[in-house]
Amino acid sequence: MKLYFQSSPIVTVATNIFINVPIILQYDDTPLMEVIKEQGIGFTTQIPIYHSDGTYLAKVKGNRVYPTIEGKNVNIEIRDEPGKFICSLENKVILELSHGVDNEFKAEAELYAPDGYFIKCSDSPEPELFDLKGNAIKFCGITIKGSTFRNMPIGIKLCKSGLAQIGTQTYTGLVP
């Protein structure tokens, strides 16, 4: 079963809603969670899975997980279990993708950026990006909970320099 949307989906991340936001999470110039349109089919989500050394291990597309050539070379394991996919490397679960009702699914992952930076997902003290219970986005002393982001190119942008942007817009010229 593949997950496809005929119109841009509403994506919920840690109680925050992203509507018509093609890139939900980006690190520098690399989208880590995005909504893509497949020609003639519709919209679906895409999440690249990197190892801490930057190796591109797998791609989550819709509600499926696909190993990359690099992932196969390091013996990434993808198990298709009832109601979910589990992706492991060296006996450590790095992604769990659970199927929900209709087009819903839930992803839990240890996301790394291509250069090895860890996008921490935990219940531990700061810094963190998402708490484990999925209640809020937290970083730089800010907690974002229950917000709606609509019609913008990037929802959350994190940069190697330490810059973090929420609800990014690109403007040319002066804004009235």
Render pLDDT for 112-127 as a digit per residue (tens, 0 to 9).
788 877 665 444 344 4
Distance CA 30, CA 32 (A): 6
Mean pLDDT for all residues in the chain? 75
152-171 pLDDT per residue, tens: 899 888 887 777 788 765 44
Number of structural domains in the chain: 1
Q: Is 117 within the bounds of a domain?
A: yes
Asked whether residue 152 is domain-assigned, the answer is yes
Question: What H or E segment, with its residue span, contains residue 72?
Answer: helix 69-73
Residue 174 resides in a domain? no
pTM of the model as a whole: 0.76
In a domain, 4, yes or no: no
Question: Containing domain of residue 82, as a range?
Answer: 10-166
The answer to whether residue 176 is domain-embedded is: no
Sign of CA dihedral 158, 20, 60, 84: positive
